Structure 1
Amino acid sequence: MDRLVVLYSRILSLAIFWAIVEGQGQTSPILHCLYCSNVALSNLNRCVTLTECADECYTDTQVQSDGSWIKQFGCAKKTACVSSQGVVGKRELSSARREFCKKEICNTDVKHFQAPSATPCGDVSANDCRDPTALASICSDCDLAQYCRKSCGLCRDHGNTWYENVVLFDYDPVHKTCRHSASVNPSICKSVTEQYNRVVPVINNNTTLNAAHAKHDYLILAQPDSYLNLHFRTNGEPLTNLQISGCKTTGLGRVDILLNNNTIVESYNQTSKWDLGWQIHKLHTNQYLNVQDYNLHIRKDATSISYGHYWLSRIRLESVVVHHSHH
C-alpha cells in the first residue's frame, strides 16, 4: 500500500497541472471531521459519524485515573490558547488535551495527518524554563507556556512522513454535480455516470419530517428493487474510504452498498431516521490494486426486505497522499 501511495503522490503533481490548465475554478468540497462523543479505545472503530466543518477538526483526549482515555471528536473554531491543568512530566501538560488540525478528517489521528513544523521546537527563555519553581507556574498558563514549549512538553515528535486525505469526488446524485480536492485530476468527476431504478428525487424540499430535512435535496429509495449505480474511472489512486450522506425513515429503510461487487455494507441501517447525516466506510485498499474502473451500487433491500425509505443526498470517495519532509 505504501508503494502505491508514493506513486499517487507523483500522480498528484500532474493533477495539479491539469487543474490549472483546465481552469476549473471550482470550490473544493467542504471539510469533513470525525464527530463522536465519549469514545473509549475499545469503541474507536464504532466512531463513523462525520460533520461538515467551516472551522477546524479537533480531538479532545481525557486521561482517566486508571490510565485509560476517553476521546471527543468534532469541529470548532481554534482557540489561541487552551488552559492547562498543571505539569505532568515533560510529555503532557495535563490529563486533558485538545488538538486541532485543518485537513480532511485529520482528527482520526492528528499526529498522522499533521505536517511537522518547519520551526525547531525550543525554549525562548532558556534560564526561566530551566527553573523548576518558575516552570510550574509558566506551564500552568497556556500563554506563558509558549515561551517554554520544549520544557512544558508542547513539542510533538514527528517523523519525516505525514499523510493527507483528499476527495476524489463529492457527488450530488440529485443535481448530478461533482466536486473534488484541488489537487485531484478533474477527469475522475468527468467520468462519473449514473444509472438508477425506481428512485424519486426530492428538490427544493420544504415539507418533510422535520425542519432538519428541509435544507437538503435527496433521492428516495423506497422499493425493494430501488437502486443507484455510479460508474467512474480513477487514475490508479488508492481508495481509502467511502462517505455517504443518507437517512433511513421509519421502518429501517435498509440499503446494501457494493463497490465492484465487493460488499462494503450489508443491510445498512445505521443512519439516523431524523436527519440526513454523513457516515464513513473504510475500504480495503488491497482489494482494488491496479483497478481503475469502478461501479458503486447502492440498492434498497438487496439482501433482506425492510419497510420505510432510504434517503440519499451525497456520495464521497477519498484517497490518501503521502508527504515527505525535507528538513
Structure 2
Amino acid sequence: MDCFAMAKKMFRFLFVILLTSIEELPLCFGQTEPIRHCLRCTGTTQTQLDSCIGLVECGDDKECYLNTTTLNDGTWIKTYGCAKRSTCGSLAGPFGKRDTASTSVEYCGKEICNIDIGHFQEPPTTPCGDLSASDCRDPLALKTICSDCETAEYCRKSCGLCHDHSNTWYENVVLFDYDVVHKTCSHSSTVSSAICQSISEQAYNVFGVVHNNYTINAAHSRSDYLILHQTNSYVILRFRTNGEPLTNLQLYACKTTGHGRVDVLLNNNTIQESYNGTFYAHLSWQIHKLNVNQYQNVRDYTLVIRKDALQVSYGHYWLSHVRLESVVTHHGHSG
C-alpha cells in the first residue's frame, strides 16, 4: 500500500478535527422518515412521571407500548418502551373485584405516542365489539375466552380490548433531526424540507469524533458526536420554521468526565440550566418539553447548547443529534 492510500485509510478511520467558530449549512437533506422514538422508563409511579424523559429508537417491526400494573389500592406502576406486539393488551374482563394486581399492555405506532396513548392513537377504522352476544355475555365462557389473546379477539369489547376514541387525535411530527457532526438533516414526510434547509451551525471549542476512532475515548458510541470539552464550548443552531407550535426538543447526548453540565436555551428561553441528567459515557435520547406559549407567532430560532455558564464545568459533554418536534391535530382518520 502506497503512502497516499495509507493516509486516506488513516484519515477515514481516525478522523478527529477541532472546530473553532465554524458556521456552515447542512450538507445533505434526507428524505427518509426519521426513526420513530418511544418514551422509555421502567417502574414509573404517579409521582415520577415528570422525571420520565428517556427515549428509545423503535424500528418498523416494533411499536411503542405502555405497560400498566394497577395495584390493589388503586395506584399504578407504568413501564414505557418499544417492542414487537406480542400480547393482545388488557385482558381484564368483567369478573368483579380483583384480589391481586392487574396488568394491561397498550401499543401504538406513532412518534412518542406512548406518552399519552389516548391522545396520540389514531382511532380504529372499524367498530370494536363482540362477535357473539351470547358467548361474550356468559361469565364462565368469557373467563376462558379472555384468558387467551387469540380467542379474546372473539369478544373484544367484553374482554376489555376496546378503548374509547374521540374523532380528534394528535400526532407528533419531526420538524428536523439534525446530525451535528455530518450536518445532515431528516424530517417527517408531512413536514416541509425548508426547515432542514434553513439550519446553520456554529461551534466553538469542540472536537468532532467519528465512528471507529478508539484514540479519543474507549467508551465511544456507534454514532459520531461532538465533544464539548472546554468551559466555553458551545454549539449553536439557527433555523426558520413555518410557525408550527414547538412541543419538545430531543438531544442524543451524554456526559463523560466530571459533571459535563450544560445549558440549553431556545431564543434565550432557558430549557435546561446546569443540566447534569444525561447518562454517563453512553449516548442516549432524552426529551425536553417546551412551553408552546413562549413561541407563538415565532418563525426564526436560535438554539444554544453550551457548557454550564453558572458553574464552571470541566467535564465533557458529547452531542450527536438534535431533534425538534411539533404536534398536528387530526379529525377522523389520516388515511
CA offsets per residue over residues 217-237 of structure 1, 9 Å max, x none?
A: 100111111111100000010
Question: RMSD in angstroms over aligned alpha carbons?
Answer: 2.0
Q: Match of 2:104, SS?
A: strand
- Match in the other structure for 1:11: none
> Where in structure 2 are the equivalents of 1:31-180 lying within 5 Å?
31-54=36-59, 55-79=62-86, 81=88, 84=91, 87-88=94-95, 95-180=102-187
- Match in the other structure for 1:299: 306
Task: Name the structure where helix makes up a greater proportion of residues.
Answer: 1
TM-score scaled to structure 1, two decimals?
0.87
- Alignment-mate amino acid for residue 127 of structure 1: S
Distance 2:144 2:54 in 1: 39
Counterpart among 179, 182, 188 of residue 189 in structure 2: 182
- Match in the other structure for 1:28: 33
Shift of 1:26: 1.6
The number of residues matched between the two structures is 300
2:251 is aligned with 1:256:
no
TM-score scaled to structure 2, two decimals?
0.85
Choose 1 or 2 for highest CA Rg. Answer: 2
- Alignment-mate amino acid for residue 225 of structure 2: Y
Distance 1:44 1:292 in 2: 31
- Alignment-mate amino acid for residue 210 of structure 2: I
- Match in the other structure for 2:8: none
Q: Percent identity?
A: 63
Q: Which runs of 5+ in 1 are unaligned?
A: 1-23
Q: Which runs of 5+ in 2 are unaligned?
A: 1-28
Shift of 1:142: 2.1
Shift of 1:205: 3.6
2:224 is aligned with 1:217:
yes
Q: Match of 2:38, SS?
A: strand
Shift of 1:215: 0.8
> Where in structure 2 are the equivalents of 1:209-248 lying within 5 Å?
209-210=217-218, 213-248=220-255
- Alignment-mate amino acid for residue 162 of structure 1: W
Q: Match of 2:86, SS?
A: coil
CA offsets per residue over residues 138-175 of structure 1, 9 Å max, x none?
A: 12222211111122222111111100000000000100
- Alignment-mate amino acid for residue 80 of structure 2: F
* 1:116/1:158 contact within 8 Å kept: yes
Counterpart among 299, 323, 326 of residue 330 in structure 2: 323
* 2:252/2:319 contact within 8 Å kept: yes
Q: Match of 1:252, SS?
A: coil
Shift of 1:80: 5.2
Distance 1:37 1:276 in 2: 19
Distance 1:111 1:83 in 2: 14
